[in-house]
Amino acid sequence: MSRVAIFVLVSFVLLTASASADVIVVDWANGPGADHTDLFPAIDASSDGDVILVRPGNYFMWNMVVGRSLTIAADGAPVVVNGLLTVRDLAANQSVVLRQLDVRYPGGLEVFDSEGVVVVEECKILGDLFGGTGVGGAVRVESARVVLEGSYVEGSWQYFNAGEPPTPALYAFESSVVVSGSQLVGGGGADTYGPDLPGAPALQAINSDIRVQGSFISGGNGFTESGGAGALLDADSAMWLRDNNIVGGPGAPSGVEFDAAPGAAVNSLTGTPVFVNAASPVREQESWSLQVDGPPGETAWALLGAPAWAPLPSGQGIVTTTALTIVPLGVFDGAGSLSIGATIPTLGFDALAFRIQVFVPLAGAPLTVGEGTNVVFLGPGF
């Protein structure tokens, strides 16, 4: 079964070569093959559908993606972005993928006014840990759709001696967010030069729909004040949960698990968590591996396509991949593990960026929709 899956995956790559992307290389050291030494000019020079490949280094400036599909992926670690990343005005058929970026002071991620989806995979995003703004969060989502997978997000701490409160890790306003296999930690309220403030919630939702699986959610540390809530929900928000650890932050007293206004809905996602991880980027003639974890003895299938957004009924989750093709991956072993490997053939084009999302049909039970992963295959010269 795995050999069949590999064949179909490779066939998918070859058949979609006509949709291949151009590659822009960013290297702060201006090494061989570099097109730019910082992210901002690379984004400014990009076209819809391009791949921006970022070599290890420290990058500065405010970076904004407006109305275009992009994949911004680290090519080695660490890739440190010292500045704010803003994505806005994506159409429904557009998407932005951020993979393996370390976003630090004085930055964060904000996503505004987008029908398309922004996928954040294996990233570390810290709010301004040396000076909170009291507004928004380390990831701020307003009228948009975001997927957080395998990422660590921490809100800003309070601004020293200025009374600005700490911020949540995730702030969602009139938005839809999926969190999978991630850690969200609210900002702490400690102040060396003044009184402590209460810790921030890890997650704050206003008129939003939040789906969380297999994640650790913790309110911020209030130290001598109260700890932050794990999740703060207004009356018009809904939260769907599966196999998480959600706790209030430490403090005096400790924070509560949920601070939900009357009318807020806290529901359960159906099925068993399914997680997936793939090596990326991968160059032609290199080995590629895909690791999937799920219910033992069951068959894993995968959707292959581009990032998308299609909610399923009730608590079955959200399909975050366009189903250009559906692939049988194989059967989970007794430990709930499934590994697939292949050598990438000669591609004949610069790059292909695509998304894989795993699902497991269970007999007599609702479909279980699992995690996704984003992959970049690179052709000659990269």
Q: What is d(CA 229, CA 247) in angstroms, rounded to the nearest whole number?
A: 7
pTM of the model: 0.93
- What confidence category does residue 115 fall into, taking pLDDT thresholds of 50, 70 and 90? very high
Q: What is d(CA 237, CA 230) in angstroms, rounded to the nearest whole number?
A: 15
Query: Residue 298: its pLDDT value, please?
Result: 92
254 phi, psi to nearest 5 deg: -65, 155
The answer to whether the beta carbons of residues 125 and 148 sit under 8 Å apart is no
**Identity (one letter) of the amino acid at 143?**
S
Would you report the helix, strand and coil content of the chain in percent, each value rounded to 5?
A: 5, 45, 50
Q: Any idea how long the chain is?
A: 382
- What confidence category does residue 134 fall into, taking pLDDT thresholds of 50, 70 and 90? very low
Q: Is the dihedral of CA 224, 226, 230, 231 positive or negative?
A: negative
State in Å, rounded, how far the first CA of the chain is from the last one: 31
Q: What is d(CA 173, CA 153) in angstroms, rounded to the nearest whole number?
A: 17
Give the lowest-confidence range in 26-35, 188-197, 332-341. Answer: 188-197
Q: At 14, is the secondary structure helix, strand, or coil? A: helix
- What confidence category does residue 314 fall into, taking pLDDT thresholds of 50, 70 and 90? low
Query: Residue 131: its pLDDT value, please?
Result: 46
The answer to whether the beta carbons of residues 59 and 38 sit under 8 Å apart is yes
Parallel/antiparallel/unpaired status of strands 287-293 and 275-278:
antiparallel
Mean per-residue pLDDT over the chain, rounded: 87
The answer to whether the beta carbons of residues 369 and 317 sit under 8 Å apart is yes
Query: Residue 17: its pLDDT value, please?
Result: 52
Q: Note the helical H segments in 91-179.
A: none
The answer to whether the beta carbons of residues 377 and 352 sit under 8 Å apart is yes
Give me the mean pLDDT over the 7-33 stretch.
Answer: 74
**Identity (one letter) of the amino acid at 251?**
G
Query: Residue 5: its pLDDT value, please?
Result: 53
- Residue in 312, 358, 345 with CA at minimum distance from that of residue 209: 312
121 phi, psi to nearest 5 deg: -125, 130
The residue behind tokens 């709930």 is 336
3-state secondary structure 322-350: CCCEEEEEEECCCCCEEEEEEECCCCCCC
The residue behind tokens 């290389």 is 25
Give me the mean pLDDT over the 252-257 stretch.
Answer: 90
Decide if pLDDT at 125 tops 80: yes
Q: What is d(CA 245, CA 299) in angstroms, rounded to the nearest whole number?
A: 27
14 phi, psi to nearest 5 deg: -70, -40
**Identity (one letter) of the amino acid at 87?**
V
Q: What is d(CA 340, CA 358) in angstroms, rounded to the nearest whole number?
A: 13
The distance of Cα 39 from the centroid of its chain, to the nearest Å, equals: 19
**pLDDT tens-place string over residues 155-207:** 988 765 456 788 899 999 999 999 999 999 999 887 767 778 899 999 999 99
The answer to whether the beta carbons of residues 361 and 79 sit under 8 Å apart is no
Query: Residue 317: its pLDDT value, please?
Result: 80
DSSP state at residue 76: S
Query: Residue 98: its pLDDT value, please?
Result: 97
Structure tokens at 86: 């803003």
Fold of 280-378: Immunoglobulin-like (2.60.40)
Q: What is d(CA 312, CA 358) in angstroms, rounded to the nearest whole number?
A: 14
Decide if pLDDT at 7 tops 50: no
The residue behind tokens 């590994």 is 339
The answer to whether the beta carbons of residues 10 and 346 sit under 8 Å apart is no
Query: Residue 342: its pLDDT value, please?
Result: 82
For the chain, which residues make up each domain, given as ranges?
22-268, 280-378
Query: Residue 1: its pLDDT value, please?
Result: 42
Q: Note the helical H segments in 251-319.
A: none
